[in-house]
Amino acid sequence: MPNLGPPTPVFKLVNGTFPAIVGNLITGLTVTVSVYKDNQLVSISNNSAPEIGTTGRYSWALSNLPQLQTAREQFHIIFDGGDGNVDHSNFIFETEGQLNSMPPLIPQSGYLRKLF
């Protein structure tokens, strides 16, 4: 069986708490982020990814994305150190509230029955 590579990571918005995605570069860089969806650049509210201590890992909050149009969307992210160092990955972002939503069945009398 061929190796298909690692699965695409899934990040979830839970109880209004936004996760962060981390890029790995070398330490001491000023890193900016670009995000793409369907090969189109996404307008984000902040493209700065600060370094976590002096680890060479740079964090970017998913709260910088615009509001999702569907409950589950896939993106491509690029962490750019400005010196030729880049880290990029695909990721999926989904919201908890919309995942289990179902349109109401109307009229209710059509699916509720009195059993006794």
Whole-model pTM?
A: 0.75
Give phi and psi for 36, each to the nearest 5: -125, 145
Q: Which domain holds residue 33?
A: 10-99
The answer as to whether 50 is a domain residue is yes
Residue with tokens 């939503």: 101
The answer as to whether 2 is a domain residue is no
Q: What is the pLDDT of residues 89-99, one digit of tens each?
A: 999 998 875 44
The answer as to whether 1 is a domain residue is no
How many domains is the chain partitioned into structurally? 1
The answer as to whether 56 is a domain residue is yes
Please give the mean pLDDT across all residues of the chain: 81
- CATH classification of the domain holding 51: 2.60.40
- Is residue 86 within 8 A of residue 80, CB to CB? The reply is yes
Residue 21 tokens, joined? 């995605």
Spatial separation of the C-alpha atoms in residues 66 and 46, rounded to whole Å: 11
Q: What is the pLDDT of residues 37-77, one digit of tens each?
A: 999 999 999 999 999 999 999 999 999 999 888 888 999 99
